[in-house]
Structure 1
């Protein structure tokens, strides 16, 4: 009796079907991890919070018990689908570093709000999965719940947490928006990604405010992204000069990562392409924004969530660092601003500009 030929094609698995559907929806990275607690990961989070390195982000401490593991947030969870969507830039994030009259906006905030784009695609993947697997339950998360997306991404094999604490992918560098789907399905976990930073410390050395006390440790209180977005009061004076002309976020530690040489803008979603008015905005125009003008300019942008006052505060620090005497008049006009933090920032900027180089 003749035996049938042995197939060399691996059988299609649910995991491979999920990954294929994720690619179809625009996700460039997809991996799987268990939902149980990782004691090491939980201990590191507790230590970071215990040392106060999270600054005024009280919500991280308040929801600590939910952050310890996916199952702590949703007891029914059995597996996590970790996903990444590329926003690799087509321009040099350092291009405006020495252009005093222009402001620098973090690459991720130059296009449409990633929360909306990523969540829409996550929901589409979740709906497909529920339709495919009878009885399956899911929950989707994009940076708006107590979910540790970066450690989960590492556990799911889509990248590793670099020395700057952000996720790094061999294929897409540092430019990934992360999302997660928790599910009641038992999915085969991937091997955790191996750390591939080696002896490189480019991300640590480039930080202008010294936000990395050691590799793999971030002091958010000194991080420009934290200072420009999360910090509500006046920024400590000793950190203002290091902010340069960055008015929303900072890309420095991401942009210098050698693994970005493999990142291609072709993989980025069209929705993340920069709006022309945010590529190299003029500080003088931004300083003139009132609340209505701010809301109109940043409609559909993640920048809108910090509000006009905090945004103009950031622009005033940039103006003070610019050395551009032409910005003195716009700064002086804000010295009597109704918001005391804005008014103080305007007076600081004016003193810096009048003092000269």
Structure 2
């Protein structure tokens, strides 16, 4: 097995199955491996997706995710990524939660972690299944394949809609009539010419619950997302301080945001057949902000081993925890923020300043400012102190 990057592999092998029989056998094997949805589409099935993607980039809605803007033409058509592809097999894994992910938002002393990140990293889980399915396919009939799990220039959601798995809802995520807004996606590109599935149509109707619930107004219009305002982007992709205008809206969300997904009416079907390996770890369901704020780098890595949370690093994570502490209204948590005023990371120190400004009185805050500013050399942290000490 060869491939240039994680989630992509080249496979070749002899075989003897064909056409409709092969597709039916493929679907059966996929479900045996733990996939909940499967469909096939043509590589040229999403011409409109390229136009929407270019519009998204043109207004800068991708924020600092510069990798999205690299070689956008390769995303427009799978053949730009691999000219030999003749069929795209799209696969979905249901990760519907076993509890309402919005309930924890009322427990302000605890941190809310996005549903998809409460278990093992889905990239690793799904990649293993895709590799197993790809091996089966090349053993069944002569072909070449490449697999992708959210790691390359593949427009998974439009392709999934073209392959009948669901449709892109007004929140821009895929919605399934069977699993609601909770599907992980993976893709297998192949040189085989497999029978196509009919594209799914939009079933959102007049519903706009996902747009209305967004705490930071990240949807300028239905089916359009400004990632720069999205809490998932702000707490995960954003590497610097979180802009002041969004801090209150973040609440106690410390990694991602599920609001627009969780209110989707189609979620009533989402918990059927949920795979145990994607279940939440107990220690990540509702951790306290106090315990999380005390994590050093080693403890952070241990706590989030095999979790996608680990990829953002300790400093960005503690930044998020401190924003949640500032929003908690819990004066007892001020001590945690005060301790972090002298953390080694400027990103953490700056967030601690803001958190304390929300929790302690003016006299106490001014005393802390005097002490901290005497040794603070980072311009961004000094700017946080300046902004927090301005007369209201």
TM-score (norm 1): 0.94
Are 1:96 and 1:104, in contact at CA under 8 Å, matched by a contact in 2?
A: yes
User: 1:37: how far off?
Assistant: 6.2
1:228 maps to 2:238: no
User: 1:100: how far off?
Assistant: 1.4
Give 5+ residue unaligned stretches, structure 1.
1-10
Measured in 2, the distance between the counterparts of 1:233 and 1:73 equals: 32
Measured in 2, the distance between the counterparts of 1:12 and 1:137 equals: 18
2:80 to 67, 72, 83: 72
1:49-78 per-residue CA deviation (whole Å, 9 max, x = no partner) reads 111000000000013122111110011111
2:25 to 8, 17, 23: 17
- Equivalences, count: 344
Query: Which deviates more from structure 2 when the two are superposed, residues 93-102 or residues 202-211?
Result: 93-102
1:350 to 352, 356, 378: 356
2:46 to 31, 34, 38: 38
Measured in 2, the distance between the counterparts of 1:16 and 1:235 equals: 49
Which position in structure 2 is the counterpart of 1:128? Answer: 136
1:51 to 52, 55, 59: 59
Are 1:207 and 1:252, in contact at CA under 8 Å, matched by a contact in 2?
A: yes
2:198 to 191, 204, 208: 191
1:158 to 158, 165, 169: 165
Are 2:46 and 2:162, in contact at CA under 8 Å, matched by a contact in 1?
A: no
1:87-110 per-residue CA deviation (whole Å, 9 max, x = no partner) reads 111111011111111000001111
Measured in 1, the distance between the counterparts of 2:100 and 2:361 equals: 32
2:111 to 99, 103, 121: 103
Are 1:140 and 1:181, in contact at CA under 8 Å, matched by a contact in 2?
A: yes
1:284 to 284, 290, 304: 290
User: 1:39: how far off?
Assistant: 2.7
1:301 maps to 2:307: yes
1:154-183 per-residue CA deviation (whole Å, 9 max, x = no partner) reads 010110000000000000111111000000
Are 1:37 and 1:68, in contact at CA under 8 Å, matched by a contact in 2?
A: no
Which position in structure 2 is the counterpart of 1:261? Answer: 268
Give 5+ residue unaligned stretches, structure 2.
1-18, 363-392
Pairing 1:240-255 to 2, within 5 Å after superposition: 240-255=247-262
User: 1:212: how far off?
Assistant: 0.3
Are 1:36 and 1:78, in contact at CA under 8 Å, matched by a contact in 2?
A: no
User: 1:267: how far off?
Assistant: 1.4
1:28 to 36, 39, 42: 36
- Where 2:133 maps in the other structure, the secondary structure is helix
User: 1:339: how far off?
Assistant: 1.4
2:316 to 307, 310, 322: 310
- Where 1:317 maps in the other structure, the secondary structure is helix
Measured in 1, the distance between the counterparts of 2:232 and 2:334 equals: 26
1:260-296 per-residue CA deviation (whole Å, 9 max, x = no partner) reads 01112x4121111111111010000000010011011
Which position in structure 1 is the counterpart of 2:70? Answer: 62
1:197-248 per-residue CA deviation (whole Å, 9 max, x = no partner) reads 0000000000000000000000000000111110000111010000000000
User: 1:354: how far off?
Assistant: 1.4
Are 1:37 and 1:70, in contact at CA under 8 Å, matched by a contact in 2?
A: no
TM-score (norm 2): 0.86
Are 2:45 and 2:162, in contact at CA under 8 Å, matched by a contact in 1?
A: no
Measured in 2, the distance between the counterparts of 1:232 and 1:242 equals: 18
User: 1:137: how far off?
Assistant: 0.3
1:145 maps to 2:164: no
- Where 1:96 maps in the other structure, the secondary structure is helix
Are 1:37 and 1:71, in contact at CA under 8 Å, matched by a contact in 2?
A: no
RMSD: 1.2
Which position in structure 2 is the counterpart of 1:8? Answer: none
Measured in 1, the distance between the counterparts of 2:306 and 2:231 equals: 23
Query: Which deviates more from structure 2 when the two are superposed, residues 162-171 or residues 183-192?
Result: 183-192
1:82 to 82, 90, 105: 90
Which position in structure 2 is the counterpart of 1:212? Answer: 219
User: 1:38: how far off?
Assistant: 3.2
Measured in 2, the distance between the counterparts of 1:149 and 1:89 equals: 22
Distance change in 2, residues 1:37/1:91 (3 Å): closer
